[in-house]
C-alpha cells in the first residue's frame, strides 16, 4: 500500500517536472510523516526516501532518535520559542520562520549550539486568518532581519496554500510566492538566498511544481489519511 502510494507520488512529480520542462532533481519530495509511526517511516525509507517532514517539535525529536541517522528532517509546522531546542541540531531546515522574534530565538539557540540553521520564511500569501506566516509585503523586511542574525541561513520562502478541492485555485498563490522570491532575490540582501520554494501538499503539489516549487510536502498522498482527531 505505502509502496504504491509512494511510487504514484513519485510518478506524478516526474510528470509535473516534464510538463514544466524541469529536471526531476530540481524538486525535493518531503514525505510528511506527522502522526505516523516509525515503522511506516522506515518502510518509506527502505524505498529510498531520505527527506521527511514533521510539524511537532517533540515528535521530530523522538523520531530522530529512533530512525536512521541519514534521514533529513524538516521542521514544517508552527514553532513556539520554547520548543526550538527540540529541533535545532536535528532538523536540516526550519520552514516556518514567521516573525522577527522567532528568528531571533532560533539564532540564539543556533549560537548556543555553535551551528548554522538553514531557514525558510513562511508567507501567508492568501491572507487567511487561520494561517501563520507574514504578509507578502513583510517578507523582505523579515529576510533582512533574519539574515542579520548569527547562526541563521535564509534559503527561501514557504507557504501553506488554502485547502481547496481544485488545485487550479491555488495556482495564483504559488505564482505569487514565486514572484515574491524573485523580487527579494533582486534586492541582493547579504546572506539571503532565495533558491528554495517550499510549496504544494497532497492536493496541489503538481500545480506547485508547475509554478516553480523546489520542495513539495506530501503527507496523506504517501502515508494515507491521518487518524481522525489526531493533530493536523
Ligand X SMILES: *Cc1c(COP(=O)(O)O)cnc(C)c1O
What is the contact surface with ligand X in residues (CB under 6 A)? 32, 34, 55, 76-77, 160, 201-202, 217-221
Rounded to a whole number of angstroms, the minimum distance from the CB of residue 186 to ligand X is: 27
Cβ-based nearer residue to ligand X, 190 or 227: 227
- Distance between CA 14 and CA 164 in Å, rounded? 23
Cβ-based nearer residue to ligand X, 34 or 61: 34
Residue nearest to ligand X (CB): 219
Rounded to a whole number of angstroms, the minimum distance from the CB of residue 12 to ligand X is: 13
Q: What is the CA radius of gyration of the chain?
A: 17
Cβ-based nearer residue to ligand X, 149 or 206: 206
Rounded to a whole number of angstroms, the minimum distance from the CB of residue 201 to ligand X is: 4
Q: Is 122 helix (H, G, I), strand (E, B) or coil?
A: strand
Give burial (CB, 10 Å; 0-12/13-18/19+) of 3: exposed
- Distance between CA 92 and CA 116 in Å, rounded? 10
Distance, CA of 193 to chain centre? 16
Give burial (CB, 10 Å; 0-12/13-18/19+) of 222: buried
Cβ-based nearer residue to ligand X, 140 or 202: 202
Rounded to a whole number of angstroms, the minimum distance from the CB of residue 187 to ligand X is: 26
Cβ-based nearer residue to ligand X, 77 or 151: 77
Sequence-ordered list of residues with C-beta below 8 angstroms from that of 228, at least 6 positions apart, any chain: none
- Distance between CA 131 and CA 94 in Å, rounded? 17
Rounded to a whole number of angstroms, the minimum distance from the CB of residue 203 to ligand X is: 6
Rounded to a whole number of angstroms, the minimum distance from the CB of residue 75 to ligand X is: 9
Strands (E), 34-145: 51-54, 72-75, 91-97, 117-122
Residue for grid cell 540582501: 189
Cβ-based nearer residue to ligand X, 40 or 185: 40
Amino acid at each position: 500500500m505505502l509502496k504504491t502510494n509512494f511510487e504514484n507520488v513519485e510518478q506524478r512529480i516526474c510528470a509535473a517536472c516534464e510538463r514544466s520542462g524541469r529536471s526531476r532533481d530540481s524538486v525535493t519530495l518531503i514525505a510528511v510523516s506527522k502522526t505516523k509511526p516509525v515503522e511506516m517511516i522506515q518502510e518509506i525509507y527502505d524505498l529510498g526516501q531520505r527527506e521527511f517532514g514533521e510539524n511537532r517539535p517533540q515528535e521530530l525529536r523522538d523520531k530522530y532518535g529512533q530512525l536512521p541517522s541519514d534521514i533529513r528532517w524538516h521542521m514544517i509546522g508552527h514553532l513556539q520559542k520554547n520548543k526550538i531546542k527540540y529541533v535545532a541540531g536535528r532538523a536540516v531546515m526550519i520552514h516556518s520562520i514567521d516573525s522577527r522574534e522567532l528568528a531571533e530565538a532560533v539564532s540564539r539557540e543556533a549560537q548556543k549550539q555553535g551551528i548554522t540553521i538553514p531557514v525558510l520564511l513562511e508567507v501567508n500569501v492568501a491572507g487567511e486568518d487561520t494561517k501563520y506566516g507574514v504578509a507578502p509585503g513583510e517578507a523582505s523586511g523579515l529576510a533582512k532581519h533574519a539574515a542579520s542574525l548569527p547562526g541563521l541561513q535564509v534559503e527561501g520562502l514557504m507557504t501553506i496554500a488554502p485547502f481547496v478541492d481544485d488545485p487550479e485555485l491555488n495556482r495564483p498563490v504559488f505564482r505569487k510566492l514565486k514572484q515574491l522570491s524573485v523580487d527579494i532575490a533582486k534586492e541582493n540582501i547579504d546572506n539571503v538566498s532565495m533558491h528554495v520554494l517550499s510549496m504544494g501538499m497532497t492536493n496541489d503539489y503538481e500545480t506547485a511544481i508547475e509554478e516553480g516549487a523546489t520542495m513539495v510536502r506530501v503527507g496523506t498522498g504517501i502515508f494515507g489519511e491521518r487518524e481522525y482527531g489526531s493533530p493536523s
